[in-house]
Amino acid sequence: MARWEKDHSWNDFKETIQRRGKALRVDLIFENGYLIVPHRTKYWRACSGIKGKYDPIPVGYYIAHTFRVRNEAAMKRDGVGFSVNLDPLFATNRNLLRIHPDGITGGSKIGTRGCIGIQEKCQEANNVLKSFFRKPTDIVYLHVINNTNVPSPD
Pairing of the two strands 139-144 and 28-31: parallel
Q: Which amino acid type is present at position 146?
A: N
Q: How far apart are CA 11 and CA 51, in angstroms?
A: 34
153 within some domain: no
Q: So what's the pLDDT on residue 116?
A: 95
Domain tally for the chain? 1
| Per-residue pLDDT tens over the stretch 12-37 | 444 444 444 455 678 899 998 999 99
Of the candidates 140, 38, 37, 149, the residue with the CA atom closest to the CA atom of residue 102: 149
Over residues 53-82, the mean pLDDT reads: 92
Identify the domain containing residue 26 by its residue range: 3-144
Whole-model pTM? Answer: 0.81
Mean pLDDT of all residues belonging to the chain? 82
Residues across the chain: 154
Over residues 71-81, the mean pLDDT reads: 92
3-state secondary structure of 57: coil
Q: How far apart are CA 102 and CA 70, in angstroms?
A: 12
45 within some domain: yes
| Per-residue pLDDT tens over the stretch 128-147 | 999 999 988 899 999 999 77
154 within some domain: no
133 within some domain: yes
Pairing of the two strands 97-101 and 80-88: antiparallel
Domain at 75, CATH number:
2.40.440.10
151 within some domain: no
